[in-house]
Structure 1
């Protein structure tokens, strides 16, 4: 029997990337799954393609191929009306919401002097106000049933610094504040509230051209040029973690294996947040190699 047998999980941002991975991992453990996504571009501010209806439908197909039940709903997490409709339809279909994974978000990589009010508002609306609008209609059902697990996707950028991510970092830090406040308020109802902090994760968002350009230091950056600087953010010898690595942490926080765990921020970052001061080891090695090559040419 799966660890989530007879439970229902609602996952935002389920069209692809981490959200799709969460849906598949939770379904493989017996959960009924409801996935939502905006399924349309946000062309004014987001410089990469967002998930489509076809992506969301493919997530549902993959869940059902595993033998699970999946309800895929186009919904904008920034809309209270959309999310109330999602909650109502989930309760109608499955009778409960036992797990909520607030996973959606956008990232826009621009230095401070290019962060317009429109960009700032769009990122904060999606990454902080959106999570609140997702969780608010779910809480009354969890309070009524006297149980539930809420898992927010924050980021290592919420607790350490990255260039060109001021709005994203501020919003993700706000998610941690929301998580801790809700953990305090909902604990007496046996509702647990936690967050995962992904490091660099191999998703379409990370591999979007805007992010590749940021790592490359200019336009036209290929993925190969991203491997070294991305690995330099981690202690372990990898350039990024995979979506399933985050999903395994979500599974732990969603399951009864963490039944007394609440109010924590769990990094899945290959050591990013434990980087010691100074030049990262991989960078120091690369510098030494280049110095040796230059010395040999003299």
Structure 2
């Protein structure tokens, strides 16, 4: 029987590329999304890409619905699959939110709930399967914004910092159970949004010593390395930066804090 990986937020982009990487290495793959139809379509596409040699599953899940999530893991078990690996890609980016002084708390906490609370639930449910297997691996796709910060992104930066902390804690708590937990600290990634917006391409936050930012495959390669029990068998609680060296350099941002009426309150 093949090993089983669950990849969250894997219908497109980084998540789908992560799913492809594991599939190419013989894993059966479960793709999750908030959209059931998209998850099932992505799962079917992934199986076709691998000539039907692996099994794939797609599930639509609601944020913070842990009973629904537990039912998914139970369904996989009934189908003969215990999950050995979990890769957490799905995130609420908190894009276009007002600055800290103006953001609605309900919008702010929704990002926290998704990026910390929901991922906590995924880890807990997956770990129950891994205990039955005698061990496993959890890989968190974190962000340089969990280490440094960006204006008007307080929810996202706070949530990613908290997610990094959760991963370190779980590495300690689950280590005696032979469950390794590590974080890929992702820098800029060439998403569709990146290509569509020159201001993002020219942002100082996407300028790094290597002069390039990550493709989806770069994140997938790092996630697979940390999940692999032969290559990374003694690695847990680690944070692997895939950022072109951006965390190693100082970035000066000249722009002040702007309110919605255009007023600059700091510079």
Normalised to the residue count of structure 1, the TM-score between the two structures is 0.77
* Structure 1: segments with no counterpart, 5+ residues: 40-51, 213-221, 280-298
Confirm or deny: 8 A CA contact 2:143 2:184 kept in the other structure. Answer: yes
CA–CA distance in structure 2, aligned partners of residues 187 and 26 of structure 1: 23
Q: CA RMSD in A?
A: 2.1
Q: Give matches, 1:4-153, under 5 Å.
A: 6-39=2-35, 53-54=37-38, 56-67=40-51, 68-109=54-95, 110=97, 111-153=99-141
Cα distance change, pair 25–232 in 1 and its aligned pair in 2 (3 A): closer
**Aligned to 2:149, what secondary structure does the other structure show?**
coil
- Note the C-alpha offset of 1:134: 1.1
Task: Find the counterpart in structure 1 of residue 174 from structure 2.
Answer: 186
Distance in 2 separating the partners of 1:166 and 1:60: 37
1:186–1:192 Cα contact (<8 Å) kept:
yes
Any conservation in 2 of the 1:96–1:141 contact (CA below 8 Å)? Answer: yes
Structure 1 pair 13/232, CA: closer, same or farther in 2 (3 Å)?
closer
User: 1:21-46: CA deviations, max 9, x gaps?
Assistant: 1101110010000011001xxxxxxx
Query: Secondary structure, in 3 states, of the residue corresponding to 1:112?
Result: coil
- Do the aligned residues in 2 keep the contact of 1:37 with 1:74 (CA within 8 Å)? yes
Select which of 205, 210, 214 maps to 1:236.
210
Provide the C-alpha distance between the structure 1 equivalents of 2:148 and 2:158, rounded to a whole number of angstroms: 11
Runs of 4+ in structure 1 displaced over 4 angstroms?
A: none
Within the candidate set 134, 151, 168, 1:163 is matched to 151
Closer, same or farther: CA 232–252 of 1 in aligned 2, 3 Å: closer
Moved more, 168-177 or 140-149: 140-149
Residue 7 of structure 1, CA deviation: 0.8
CA distance in 1, matches of 2:190, 2:43: 17
Return closer, same or farther for 1:277/1:172 CA change in 2, 3 Å cut-off. closer
C-alpha contact 2:8 2:90 (8 A) present in aligned 1? yes
Distance across 2 between alignment mates of 1:6 and 1:156:
33
CA distance, structure 2, for counterparts of residue 56 and residue 155 of structure 1: 28
List gaps (5 residues or longer) in structure 2: 254-267
Could you say which residue in structure 1 is the equivalent of 2:142? 154
Q: Secondary structure at the match of 1:73?
A: strand
Q: How far apart are residue 77 of structure 1 and its match?
A: 4.1
- Structure with higher Rg: it is 1
CA-CA distance at 1:233 after TM superposition: 3.5
TM-score, normalised by the number of residues in structure 2: 0.86
Query: 1:30–1:223: structure 2 CA closer, same or farther, 3 Å change rule?
Result: same
